[in-house]
Chains A and B, each alone.
Chain A
């Protein structure tokens, strides 16, 4: 039996899972490769009865990106004996060619280790896997993305008939897409494939071959050594779905007649809907292209059914809403789940929907995961709004000896002097740092408010009574306190303020900052007597107390050139000598609101 690799995150989630209302029961999600299963997430079921199992499992699959599948099951059991586990597992209708992963927790035991993990090659046996690997690093996945809006026309005969007609049309579409006539083409290549045929490559070709065939602009984006390793992983394979409408002579349709026309005169109403299909598949490099074809079809059909659910759930009168697809990465891994939301509904109105999702994917109710702002960014999206995203991720320096790095969690965009065609050279650094902070709250889904301009920031300070009206339009500096007022007023985020009377004292703030990045993970604005900066992380040595700071410098006036920014240290690690020993400093440490 092959190996089982489990993301540490899944183990931690399940070890600490304590929801008294629901049973400890659900399924494990993962990717399959030659090397076995890579378990990346889990879903908690509210009902452990056999009757509801298939329903619950089906509702999970509607969210899964291609390649991600239900790969196992977890439950509570008194005994960890294989024989006892078999009895329980064999009840559930779960079947996998590569076997099932089983995670069993004993009641009142909050420990989950290798001992709790089993595999079941078939329904009748349970054994220990040859290799169990609890890891942070799951293999790099190749992402293929297919975007293709489909138009359907659905007859609405009587009140409430929409659901049935819609379901018929969608199932027909799924049948079409599952038939051998539906094929996928990798854009700008001569490769066409589906689950049963491959044109342009040998039949046994694997997905890494597809990446080799495509070229991408991102290759030019990152310089030097990183170019290869980084961009290779980050490139998305863009695919399109096509229908082969030619008839092979040996097919059953070979006897089709010359076109006939049926014209039915009848009065009825029809609603035209757009299905904005946007499907991701994630596979390991050794997955065959044919398998990718199979994943693609499954994922498209799952998504079409999810759209159908969304149309029906949010229908008003006879008119279903316009729907949108969002891809999220809810776990500390690259694995994607996709959610359909109706367009135009506020985040507040969708909260109960998100609550369901948090509960289904065993996620705490403390931070947003499925807000539209949390949508995951694809390499091709990163440069679109003109700001650099997370430039620090491309830094290539070694960590401090015996130090541990604590970094900002999630994405932010780099805001600095002279952007947005606005000349704030010499005075706008704190404003820019504030913009970076707000961008973080946007990317993390806490707010959908736009990033404030200098003028809006000044107006906010007037509105809260901190400044006189003439402040608006001026070129006056602001400090950490002002930044915290603005965060509160503009996006409802409170902050903690930390003071040091001399720059040299910052050496003592290592632990505090480390803790901040560990728990809050928000970028920190630092200002005071002198210039303002953004702190993105610290490298901290527990023993010696040595500390280095990851600085994002808003004083940069050039273009969004990652190479220059990294080489000239506009984003980089700084030692204690970076700070002015004599000047005083204030830090604004934004706190995450507890919302979903």
Chain B
């Protein structure tokens, strides 16, 4: 299974954190399904041009969160994710995106009313037809 993770070395965010955030999001959003066998640590490290130390750390973190499980001798699989957890993740992802949109608005001195109007405009345009 090839996992679509994009590393940005120009970011100040540590590699393991970038990978962990993206992999968690892929699992919680269902893009990588329950039961999927993830690449071996060495394989994944090679794809991402990072070290096995980093990938092992990500797998261990997500395993302790209950998102992954490791079967001795077979590999690391995506565990069953509860629907509560999935809903919470969906909500968080949307809230974060909106927060950054509001931040941009505040930077260019939009009022609350301006932002509401813009939000409605965008929403109408997206849901048209």
- Asked if A and B bind, the verdict is no
Q: Which residues of B contact A (CB under 8 A)?
A: none
